[in-house]
Amino acid sequence: MKTLIAEDDEASRIVLSRYLSRYSSCDEVVDGLEAVEAFKAACRKNEPYNLICLDLMMPRMDGITALKKIRDIESEYYNNPEQRSKIVIITALSETPFMQSSFDKGCDAYATKPVDFERFMDVLKEIGCDLN
Amino acid sequence: MCYAGRGDDVSSKTVPIQQCNYGDVLAQDIKDNNGSAVVTKNTIINKFIIEKLIDLELTEVCIYMQAEDDNIIENEKIKREYILAKKSMKSILNKMGNNKPVDYSEVVQMSKIIYSYRERPNQVVQYLNSVKNHDEYTYTHSLNTAFYCMLISKWMHMSETETSLSIQAGILHDIGKIDIPENILNKRGILTKAEFEIMKLHVNHGYNRMNNFINDSVLSEEIRMAALLHHERTDGSGYPFNMSSGNINFHSKIVAIADVFDAMTSDRVYKKRTSPFDVFEMFRTIGLSMFDENIINVFIKNISGLYTNTNVLVEDGRIAQVVHIPMDNISKPVIRIDSEMIDLSKENNIRLLRVI
């Protein structure tokens, strides 16, 4: 499995990356723009990410804008829904008020910090991530 | 010796002579047996006056309450009334849950209590900061939202009738959550799209639940609409209809802001509250297009100042006091930690976690 983590807060990024690296290789970026660039590069090499974790509030480009751009680029490269990356928006900002636009723009799950990893893993399986 | 600075509206209390302190101010004329005043109202009590009162064989005397007394008594009052309102909220939701009719006058009564704090925004915000217990979030969230609706209406210079509507809309906005399964409502921290679709239905349920009220002649369509539309966003990104700003009614726009502000600054089962400064930052950045610009500006401008002097927990565990909130950079206050003043607009490494 291949994962992209976009998170500007270093501590959160390291924790998430350490945890997920048991199941996946992890690339780390620090804002939405870098996330979009990393995604593009992966598509060009035809090695798309299986899972993308986007923080909501990041400098230069926020998580929801990045989410929309990633889904747009993805649709240019892949038609098969099974090849779609699973995308989780992660935020310190509780459930309101960005859930609707996140789901509208194509995220698969919406998580609130601090991330409860046990629940997080359950949901990743539920949305179809291969965690073996 | 006469103290002239006090008006008649200042409250007073009767205390035994022994409990008078030097500096207390008399709130009554003291007369001798012939009925002539020997010590007049507004006299500042000193050793000489106390001796005189004892000579007159008085046992107790009426004095003005000091500001701190006022605050303590008022804080007790808001606490008592808040707890009563919370009980009403519980009773309304329980009756609804059991499909029993609910008398709308209960809602009006709560609304009157909240309205009575219209001239005390400082006290309201201070008190709401202290009720962040997640155990009773269902009830406290609706009440707090109603209090913030009242404050917004006040700051928007709305009439008493319109303010009451707004308060009632706040009290009832989430009533449809009684129809959402508990396991989805209190899900710890992560929701899938399917679960969110179920969660979203609370706005439709809320709209329908308004039919459970009796004696509801003052239940206006504005309030029903606020239950249905408080998750609509002015940029069309909300639900249930993806409405644009022009179609969302005014009270729904007020409730939307009050709701989000309280939800984010309250503790939940799965997360600690966010600092109000981070919420201001959210409203001014990523949330900018989602809420009514005029209401948000009035709200932030007025509420931010009420956080001066509050204590906040810093990420490194230290406790800071908010000293100054610059209007042009509201999310970056000047704080004091011990005796050191720190301007957060110049210091990037310090993050405020939450008000304590």
Over the stretch B91-141, which tens digit does the pLDDT of each residue have? 999 999 999 999 999 999 999 999 999 999 999 998 998 886 667 888 999
Query: Cα distance from B208 to chain A (closest Cα, Å)?
Result: 22
Beta strands in B50-152 (DSSP E): 60-64, 102-103
Confidence category of residue B7, pLDDT binned at 50, 70, 90: very low
Testing the interface with A: which of B187, B188, B193, B242 to mutate, by most A Cβ within 10 A?
B193
Name, of A77-91, B142-156, B338-352, the range with top average pLDDT.
Answer: B142-156
Mean pLDDT of A79-91: 89
Cis peptide before A114 (omega within 30 of 0): yes
Tell me the per-residue pLDDT of B66-75, one tens digit each, with 9 for 90 and over. 666 667 777 8
Residue B348 has pLDDT above 80, yes or no: no
Name which of B179, B216, B228, B178 is nearest B101 in CA terms: B216
Dist. CA B335–CA B321, nearest whole Å? 5
Name, of B11-25, B128-142, B304-318, the range with top average pLDDT.
Answer: B304-318
Size of the A and B interface in Cβ pairs below 8 Å:
83
Residue with tokens 């007025």: B302
* Cross-chain Cβ contact B190/A93 below 8 Å: no
Beta strands in chain B (DSSP E): 12-16, 30-31, 37-39, 60-64, 102-103, 190-192, 213-214, 311-314, 319-324, 334-337, 340-343, 352-355
Confidence category of residue B186, pLDDT binned at 50, 70, 90: confident
Testing the interface with B: which of A9, A64, A93, A118 to mutate, by most B Cβ within 10 A?
A93
What pLDDT shows up at residue B221? Answer: 95
Confidence category of residue B269, pLDDT binned at 50, 70, 90: low
